[in-house]
Chains A and B, each alone.
Chain A
Amino acid sequence: MTERVVLLGLDGGTFSTLDPLMEEGVMPFLKEFLASGVRGELLSVIPPLTPPGWASLVTGRTPGNHGVLDFFRFESPDSRYIRLVNSRDVKCETIWSIISRQGLKATVLNFPLMTPPRPISGYAVPGWAPWRYLRRLCSPRELYDKIKTVPGFNVQDLAMDLELEGKAIEGSSKEEYEDWIRLHIRREKQWFEILRYLMQEDPCNLTAVLFDGVDKLQHLLWRFIDPAYVPAHPSAWEQRIRDLCLDYFRQLDGLIAETVAMAGPEASVFLASDHGFGPSTEVFYLNAWLHRQGYLEWATKAPEDTSAVGKLGLDMTSRWSFMVDWSRTTAYGLTPSSNGLHIAVAGRRVQRGIDPKEYERVRSILMDQLGQLTDPATGGRVVSQIWTREEAFAGTQMEMAPDLTLSLRDGGFVSILKSDVVLKPRPEVVGTHRPEGVFMAKGPGIRQGLSLPALSLTDVAPTLLYTLGLPVPRDLEGRVAEQIFESASLHRRPIDVGEPTQVPEAFPQWPDHREDQEGEARVLERLKQLGYVE
């Protein structure tokens, strides 16, 4: 066993993409890695989505307990306004915190739900951070000035851009594709350079970096990546886009190879993704369907999606509350990403709504109606699976969850927009999430050339803790993936089940938040000069 572990996150990594790339020689290092390590599918959570997925991976807990159910959440249990999730919404302890408490150090780069920063022993540069605030969001804060010296550092490329995030899901003009791919190649290189800097300056026990271009490229450019959709006779432009996509994965393979080399033969290296990927071929307008069924009434100003490509309405989520006539709405889809359906219950976020006594009956009718919904063109069922909140989100945080969560036949996200059709075929296939992510591992005591039955995302945290030589907290929902380890290794060091995790403080006190009385006096004086204070 070793006490040096590297975790490489591939956001949206899926074997249906990676296997052909390995076979075609685009990712030779990954192929070699797997020949001397283990692989298996890593089953995501419901819904298979980035925030709940990574939160489950780093806590070893399910969304119903860690509380991250979507990109967004209600502002409070009785509010119908939503906001982006952040680190304060993770109600269970992360692996970064667990190992810090036990005297080990972590380097964490580009993971979501790291802002506002939480106390950590080591270094964290968060993902999903706007560039203007990155300095304030690094941990420790002095770290920003150090990473600024890293070759190629460009904070605007590195940080989160909501417009770009939206383009991954809603599409962009074809003229932007090449720049889009090149941006993500640059971004991965930047994260790698920061990783290299920190691995050389102060190697930590656990080093983790997330490469998120995998998800972005697959969303927008699935038809250039999945061999099943790559044109048989591509135009020069199509070939160029395909080649650039392959270049992204080729360079990613090189970054993985360099990281593994830096970690050295004594390190254990894990690769994992938060969810898998597959094609999406249509858009299902959940709220348009609810309107037709009499559950939802649009506000007069609700815009209608008349686009040919079919929009999901990601950019409308923050103003969704104003698109609906709440006095006449009893069920609604709140965000595209959650694939969730909420029932308006009187007294719960809305003044009007159904009688609470009617909740079970209404929910049961909705499930029947959605289950029976068919495509008029083919007769095929549109909704392939429906979970109640008790099924999908059992746990302490269930009250914030949708009442129903849907899985669509093409695996896609629902649209929340107004539309005169319920189902719209996409003119071109795009990529969307699937539950089957990837798990790969290699290192001392880890078996070689083994293909495993599927693991759960919640198994990763306990497996990393065990590999680091630490006890596994007894309240984790996942388990150590014993099958990846040689039996002699397990015999030498049996799994040690330890004390439960600690509930994170919502607002931890930081040393640099202590009041600086002298500095404050100076600030007040300046404010008077500026006219803020008399």
Chain B
Amino acid sequence: MVEVTRERIVADLEKIFNETMGDWEYSGEITPETRLFADLGLESIDIVALGGAIEGHYRRNFPFAQWLGQMRDQQVDDIRVKDVIQFLHDNLGGSSVGERQ
């Protein structure tokens, strides 16, 4: 059983992005501050696909709809990579080993 630390989540996300980004118009590095809409140019359907890929990777469901809905209601206009990491970390109940402050 592999412990789902923040490091692990970051590595997993990187892997998922790398599997698809060869076809994208984005050529920069993806960092914790990278915005999914403004920087990567993603659309809402891409976020759905990203969620599906993440769920497939961890082989479990996450409450993405609730999370995204609440962000929209709070008028958060973009999602940063670090927000996704935090969301996954919260839901996976991972340890704080390697966590950045």
Contact = CB atoms under 8 A, between A and B. Distances in A.
Interface of A: 75-76, 79, 81-84, 86, 88, 115-116, 129-137, 155, 160-162, 318-319, 321-322, 506-507, 509, 513, 515, 519-520, 523-524, 526-527, 530-534
Contacts of B59: 506-507, 509
Contact of B45 (A155, A162, A509): A162
A81 B52 contact: no
A509 B59 CA distance: 8
* Highest count of chain A CB atoms <10 Å: which of B20, B59, B65, B73: B65
B71 to A, nearest CB: 11
Interface string B44-60: 11101111110111011
A528 to B, nearest CB: 9
A264 B11 CA distance: 50
B63 A79 contact: yes
Nearest to B73: A322
Nearest to B24: A132
Contact of A319 (B19, B43, B73, B98): B73
B10 A82 contact: no
10 contacts: A81-B69, A83-B51, A83-B64, A135-B20, A507-B56, A523-B18, A526-B14, A527-B11, A530-B29, A532-B31
B7 A524 contact: yes
Contacts of A519: 15
Contacts of A162: 43-45
A86 B72 CA distance: 22
A75 B6 CA distance: 25
Q: How large is the interface on B (under 10, 10 to 19, 20 to 34, 35 or more residues)?
A: 35 or more
B57 A136 contact: no
A115 B65 contact: no
B68 interface: yes
B27 interface: no
B53 A133 contact: yes
A526 B15 CA distance: 11
A530 B11 CA distance: 12
Interface in B1-43: 2, 6-7, 10-11, 14-15, 18-20, 22-24, 29-32, 42-43
Given A116-B56, A531-B31, A523 B11 contact: yes
Nearest to B42: A132
Given A116-B56, A524-B11, A75 B72 contact: no
B97 to A, nearest CB: 10
B49 A533 contact: no
Contact of B69 (A116, A134, A321): A321
Contacts of A530: 29-31
A116 B31 CA distance: 26
Given A115-B52, A531-B31, 9 more contacts: A76-B61, A83-B65, A133-B50, A135-B20, A136-B20, A136-B49, A318-B65, A523-B15, A533-B7
Contacts of B55: 88, 116, 507
Nearest to A527: B10
A132 B23 contact: yes
A326 to B, nearest CB: 13
A155 B50 CA distance: 18
B14 A527 contact: yes
B23 A131 contact: yes
The 6 closest A-B pairs by CB, nearest first: A507-B59, A133-B49, A83-B65, A81-B65, A81-B66, A75-B65
